[in-house]
Structures are given as structure tokens and as C-alpha cells.
Structure 1
């Protein structure tokens, strides 16, 4: 019997389209906090399934499950095709910095990829990072140094990230400040083009113009 005060796990339902081990781990973690019995585990688990997954559960033969570990094994076996494929250090060599991609964005993508790889050697991280860098000041600088730790790499990257972002801010500031001056130059032209009642003292004018 399920206890009256039992609260079903609050978690996204599993529909059979992603890694079943993640869903099972999430379920076990939440059930652990409730100190529920093995029978309660078996009865609560189907409430976390939907679509293809719940259809699979409903198709199980009656009394074919005697304990939750059996249900867990059948669940993992049925949806094993959806398990995440293990990634290796060599996959880092496929990460490249785009032609217009900022150094900050590249570092964030690279760091995220590293999190998906277990037992990743430091040397592999450094080699992969340098290999994927676009040709530029940072790639030239870091390739000449023999960095042995990820902290050193991160410190060097932060310096060039700040330089890159400060440079872009400077360019944006110059571009925005150039517009008001052009507008001010245009105003005299409009006034001069307008006819005036008073005769002008000068008869020849040099037209204003912007460099092409």
C-alpha cells in the first residue's frame, strides 16, 4: 500500500526520447528523501512515465515485477538505445572557433564540451583548446607558452577576452560619437541652401562635402 501522506516525485515525465539512466537517477534521488518502501518505488515509478514509456509499462506481464531493481533493469534495457554515447578527448579536436566568434563564446563552448567527458587529462584539454583557436593574438601567445595547468590557461584567456571586449566597446563608442558631428555639419548646409532676403556679401561658395 502507498502511504496516504506519500507525495509523488515532482520531475519531468519520461517519454522514451532521452537517456533513461538520467530519469532513473532523478527518481531514486527523490524517493530516497521520502524513505519510501520498495513496493512504493514500484507503484510510484509509472507516475513519472508518459507516451511510449507508459505504454511499455502497461505492456508488462502481470506480476512480472517483484522488486524495484527488476523494474529498473527492464526499464534501462528497453530504452537503452537512448543512452548518451560516451564522449572522448578526441572529440575536443572537432571544436573550432568561428571566424566571427568571440573568444569568450568559444571558451564557454569548449568548457561545456569538457564537462561531458569523464577522466579528461589536462594535457588533452590544453591541446584541444589551442587547436581550435582562430589565428590571432591569443593563439599566437598561448602556443609559445608551456602552460601546465588549466588555471594558467584560464588566466591567459581572461586577459585576451578583456582586451577583445574593450576593443569592441571602443569601436562602438567611436561609431556612435561620429553621428552627431555629421548631423551638425548637415544643418549649416540646409540653412545655406535656403534663400534669404538679405543680399549676400560673397558670390562664390565652396560646397561642403564628406570624404568618400
Structure 2
């Protein structure tokens, strides 16, 4: 278990700690005593500054911990934030898809429709965006499969270029 230093989401840390204590069937007193072993830096200073006998239970300690460090909670992201994920000019479709998928992982309870809308909205004008515009799909797997085909087509075309060398990109003037 990672030590908590006060810079990340305290709910994640507390949840992780509680799970471990549940597995070993630890008593309330043991949880209170063991909790300090998962802290460091500012979090440990906070724990050490608690007045003696000021904690009455692990629930009390948990509450005090969350109140002190709740400002460090992870920012919750929602589906509309996907509209800000745009394919950069010259960015390969593969890189955009990877970046978009990572953004999707940060959002809980994300609907398929929102994913498809965000993905299509962020695409640069090109063969893939034209194809998606012509034939809308309601299945994410279909969109991902079509993207994979376009990625493979583009990479295969690059490999067939007579002057292509790995790691070297040619401008249209050089060709």
C-alpha cells in the first residue's frame, strides 16, 4: 500500500486502508493505531498533531482525516469534458484514439452515446471523419473497429512509400 503524503485523494487512501483492515479482521483500536503507519510527510505531521485522546473511534479518525485532506480530492470529470479532447493537426489517428480512451477512463458512468459523440466531435477532417459522418454507428465496438482499419490503412500506405524509413517523416514537397 502506498503511503499517503497529503497530496492525493484521501478517500482513495482511506478506502484502500479499510479494505486491508477488513481482510485481517482488525479491531477498531488496531485500525486507529495502524493508520499512522500508512502516512508520511504532511499527513504524518497532521496525525502527530492530534491531541492525546482526541480520537474516540476509527470512524472519528476517518472523519478528521477526510476533513483535513478533502481539498486534495481528485477532480470529478463528466461526459462533456470529452468535447475538449481534440485531434491535433498532424496527430495520427492512433495517438488521438489512445488519448481519447485515456480521457474516457477518467469519467464514471459514461454512456456509449457520449463516447461516440465526443470521439467524432474531436476528429480532424479526413477520411475517417468523413466515413463516420456518412454512416453513424450506435455501437462503440463498430467505431473502434473502423478506426483500427483506417489506422492500419494509413500505416500500410506509409510502409509502401519507397523512401520511407522508420522515424523519418517526409513532407509532400520532398516526395
Query: Fold-level match, TM-score > 0.5?
Result: yes
Deviations 1:12-63 (CA, angstroms, capped at 9, x unpaired):
2111111111111221222222222221111111111111101111111211
Match of 2:96 among 90, 97, 106: 106
1:176 deviation in Å? 5.6
Secondary structure, aligned partner of 2:163? helix
3-state secondary structure, aligned to 1:126: helix
CA contact (8 A) 2:3 2:39 kept: yes
Match for residue 33 of structure 2? 43
Which entry has the higher C-alpha Rg, 1 or 2? 1
Aligned equivalents of 1:164, 1:33: Cα separation in 2: 51
Match of 2:171 in 1: none
**Is residue 2:82 matched to residue 1:76?**
no
Q: RCO (CA 8 Å, sep 6+): is it higher in 1 or 2?
A: 2
Deviations 1:140-190 (A, max 9, x none): 10111120111111111111111122122223xx2268xxxxxxxxxxxxx
In the alignment, is the contact (CA less than 8 A) between 2:79 and 2:114 conserved in 1? Answer: yes
Q: Which runs of 5+ in 2 are unaligned?
A: 166-175
Aligned to 2:119: 129
Residues 91-142 of structure 1: CA deviation (Å, up to 9, x unaligned):
1011011122221111111111111112222211111101101111101101
Q: Do residues 146 (structure 1) and 136 (structure 2) align?
A: yes
Q: Which runs of 4+ in 1 moved over 3 A?
A: none
Superimposed CA distance per residue, residues 63-91 of structure 1 (whole angstroms, 9 cap, x where no aligned partner)? 11121111111111111111011111111
Gaps of 5+ in 1: 1-10, 178-212
State the TM-score, normalized to the length of structure 1: 0.74
CA distance in 2, matches of 1:29, 1:161: 42
Q: Distance in 2 between matches of 1:82 and 1:108?
A: 27
Could you tell me whether the CA contact under 8 Å between 2:158 and 2:164 is conserved in 1? no
TM-score (normalised: structure 2)? 0.88
| Distance in 1 (alpha carbons) for counterparts of 2:41 and 2:163 | 55
